[in-house]
């Protein structure tokens, strides 16, 4: 690791991180969308998400931080610096969760950012650059597919109207849900469009077992693997289960099963590096005595090597075209993010700050997608990981200790202060 010195001011701000205040807020937020076994189901733009947004805004207003929202509902909390006309340093994450989510995925990064602003206030430190904490809209993509919508719009990769028509499983459009949320959250009307950012650092639980198995507290994240999502829609013909001979059927579910069987073979990876997941399967009319007329399934495909993702993406279409008939099939790629390499200067500031604060640290890649991957196309970016118990995430049992939450936040405080103070 290159020589890294942490100045007095960043260290002072890190020392003002209040572990109890942070833990209490994480627990408060876990009430919004709470489900049994300590889980959270807080879909993007849902009433639970709106309640979480309102609470975050109230905490920010208490400290007189500025609150703004952009056209896709990304929520920005700003602590001013000495100069208001200079680019901000940014941190943040997402507040939406998986349907069977945990109390820490995403929300930790938003609250860690808020805690850094609080620590700066308590330490009475004035920075040169303003610091923005952002809560990105719809990172998960479990209600409205794909994920990462907020950071895609902020970085100019997509426009809000690209997503307007997308519907959730109840037929509600993204446009309608977004309008409701913007009306409900009392942020200022100013909606900053994409603007220059000095640097972005996101704190997040690792969502894997590496830190815990290595007995390290801080992960300085070096990269994020490439990620693609597909929607496969198969159309057949509904028919009577009792009277229709099998050879006359256009059974959409049987066609989907043929596709999935062949895709499993194509996606086999003896090195177990490829991540291939079919997480969603919808059959209609979904009646025990009617031959399925439609079958729709999702594909989530990830790998560090873009060329492998490109090759396998082509195979998805060719496999389905070959075995779906006599049913029809349409394969649509709904998301594509190339592998991300984080800025070396940000990675070393995370690792250096952790060591300067006496915390064990290691470099590691991220298997999970994050908004920081989009931000890396926009400004020097990086991530701080902390361990989560048994590497479990996207599961109600997800857990991170209060001490680790605070440790990650202290490193974030040190990095952001150093970036904003010079
Ligand atoms: O899917 C992901 O990697 C992220 O947790 N949304
Ligand atoms: Mn996340
Ligand atoms: Mn997640």
The domains located in the chain, with CATH, are 8-225+339-420 (3.40.630.10), 227-337 (3.30.70.360)
Residue 196 has pLDDT above 70, yes or no: yes
Q: How far is the CA of 357 from the centre of ligand 3 (A)?
A: 28
Q: What's the pLDDT tens digit per position in 14-57?
A: 999 999 999 999 999 999 999 999 999 999 999 999 999 999 99
pLDDT attached to residue 85: 87
Instruction: Provide the percentage of residues in the chain whose pLDDT is more than 90.
Output: 95
Instruction: Provide the percentage of residues in the chain whose pLDDT is more than 70.
Output: 97
pLDDT attached to residue 1: 58
The residue whose CB lies within 8 Å of the most ligand 1 atoms, and thus the one to mutate among 202, 279, 368, 372, is 368
Q: Is the CB of 206 under 6 A from ligand 1?
A: no
Q: Indicate the pLDDT class of residue 422, thresholds 50, 70 and 90.
A: low
pLDDT attached to residue 421: 87
Stated pTM of the model: 0.96
Encoded tokens for 295: 């079958």
Smallest-distance ligand from the CA of 140 = 1
Ligand 1 atom at shortest distance from the alpha carbon of 141: 6
Which of 400, 22, 19 lies closest to 217 in space, CA to CA?
400
Smallest-distance ligand from the CA of 101 = 3
Ligand 1 atom at shortest distance from the alpha carbon of 139: 6
Q: What's the pLDDT tens digit per position in 117-167?
A: 999 999 999 999 999 999 999 999 999 999 999 999 999 999 999 999 999
Q: What's the pLDDT tens digit per position in 284-303?
A: 999 999 999 999 999 999 99
Encoded tokens for 37: 């076994």
Closest C-alpha to ligand 1, atom 6:
140
Helices (DSSP H) in 63-197: which residue ranges? 107-123, 149-154, 160-163, 174-184
CA 304 vs. chain centroid, Å, equals: 18
| Mean pLDDT in residue range 394-403 | 98
Residue 371 has pLDDT above 70, yes or no: yes
pLDDT attached to residue 402: 98
The residue whose CB lies within 8 Å of the most ligand 1 atoms, and thus the one to mutate among 140, 277, 336, is 140
Q: What's the pLDDT tens digit per position in 319-360?
A: 999 999 999 999 999 999 999 999 999 999 999 999 999 999
Q: How far is the CA of 98 from the centre of ligand 3 (A)?
A: 6
Ligand 1 atom at shortest distance from the alpha carbon of 94: 6
Q: How far is the CA of 83 from the centre of ligand 1 (A)?
A: 36
Q: Is the CB of 65 under 6 A from ligand 1?
A: no
Q: What's the pLDDT tens digit per position in 222-254?
A: 999 999 999 999 999 999 999 999 999 999 999
Q: Indicate the pLDDT class of residue 273, thresholds 50, 70 and 90.
A: very high
45: preceding bond cis by omega (within 30 degrees): no
Across the chain, mean pLDDT equals 96
- Give Cα separations from 143 to 24, 56, 326 (angstroms): 28, 22, 31
Altogether, the residues listed in the chain come to a count of 422
């Amino acid at each position: 690791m290159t020589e890294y010195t942490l100045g007095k001011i960043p260290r002072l701000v890190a020392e003002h991180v209040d572990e109890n205040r942070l833990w209490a807020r994480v627990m408060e937020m876990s009430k919004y969308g709470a489900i049994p076994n300590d889980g959270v189901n807080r879909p993007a733009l849902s009433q639970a998400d709106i309640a979480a947004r309102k609470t975050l805004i109230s905490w920010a207003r208490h400290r007189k931080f500025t609150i703004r929202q952009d056209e896709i509902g990304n929520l920005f909390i700003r602590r001013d610096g000495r100069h208001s006309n200079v680019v901000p340093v940014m941190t943040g994450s997402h507040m939406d969760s998986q349907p069977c989510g945990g109390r820490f995925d995403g929300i930790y990064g938003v609250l860690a950012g808020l805690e850094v602003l609080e620590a700066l206030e308590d330490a009475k430190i004035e920075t040169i650059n303003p610091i923005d904490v952002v809560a990105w809209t719809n990172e998960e993509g479990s209600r409205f597919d794909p994920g990462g919508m907020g950071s895609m719009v902020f970085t100019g990769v997509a426009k809000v109207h690209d997503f307007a028509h997308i519907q959730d499983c109840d037929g509600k459009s993204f446009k309608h849900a977004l309008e409701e949320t913007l009306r409900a959250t009392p942020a200022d009307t100013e909606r900053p469009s994409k603007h220059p950012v000095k640097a972005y650092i996101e704190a997040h639980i690792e969502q894997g077992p590496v830190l815990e198995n290595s007995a390290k507290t801080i992960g300085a994240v070096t990269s994020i693997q490439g990620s693609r999502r597909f929607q496969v829609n198969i159309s057949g013909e509904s028919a009577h289960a009792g009277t229709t001979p099998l050879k006359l059927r256009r059974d959409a579910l049987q066609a989907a099963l043929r596709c999935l069987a062949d895709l499993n073979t194509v996606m086999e990876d003896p090195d177990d590096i490829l991540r291939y997941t079919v997480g969603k399967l919808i059959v209609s009319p979904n009646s025990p005595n009617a031959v399925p007329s439609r079958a729709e399934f999702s594909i989530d495909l990830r790998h560090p090597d873009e060329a492998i993702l490109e090759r396998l993406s082509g195979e998805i279409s060719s496999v389905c075209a070959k075995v779906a008939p006599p049913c029809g099939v349409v394969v649509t790629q709904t998301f594509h993010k190339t592998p991300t390499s984080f800025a070396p200067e940000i990675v070393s500031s995370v690792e250096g700050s952790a060591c300067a604060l006496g915390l064990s640290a290691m470099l590691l890649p991220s298997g999970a997608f994050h908004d920081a991957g989009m931000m890396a196309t926009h400004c020097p970016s990086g991530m701080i990981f902390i361990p989560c118990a048994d590497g479990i995430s996207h599961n109600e049992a997800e857990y991170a200790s209060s001490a680790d939450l605070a440790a990650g936040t202290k490193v974030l405080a040190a990095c952001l202060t150093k970036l904003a103070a010079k």
